[in-house]
Amino acid sequence: MTEEEKLRNRILDELLKRWPDHNPKIAEVHENTFTYELEKHGNYTYFVVGYSIMSSGELKIDWGSAQLTML
């Protein structure tokens, strides 16, 4: 598994913990941000949020920076 795949899996785990009823999916991953999709009752919403990898290897997601976006 590549580092990018590992990162995507870690992000998806956090999304599933945060929004288990919204069928979260990752749309894009960039160096310091990622875009994710939430779905509820056939309605899709996209957000971009910042993240960082701490020196300990911990994934830190800045949920307070989440912004509505369009794809």
Residue ranges covered by each domain of the chain: 3-69
CA distances for 4 relative to 8, 25, 58, 63, 70, angstroms = 6, 15, 15, 20, 23
Q: Which CATH number is associated with domain 3-69?
A: 3.10.450
pTM: 0.91
Residue 52, pLDDT score: 97
Q: What is the pLDDT of residues 14-39, one digit of tens each?
A: 999 999 999 999 999 999 999 999 99
Residue 10 per-residue DSSP state? H
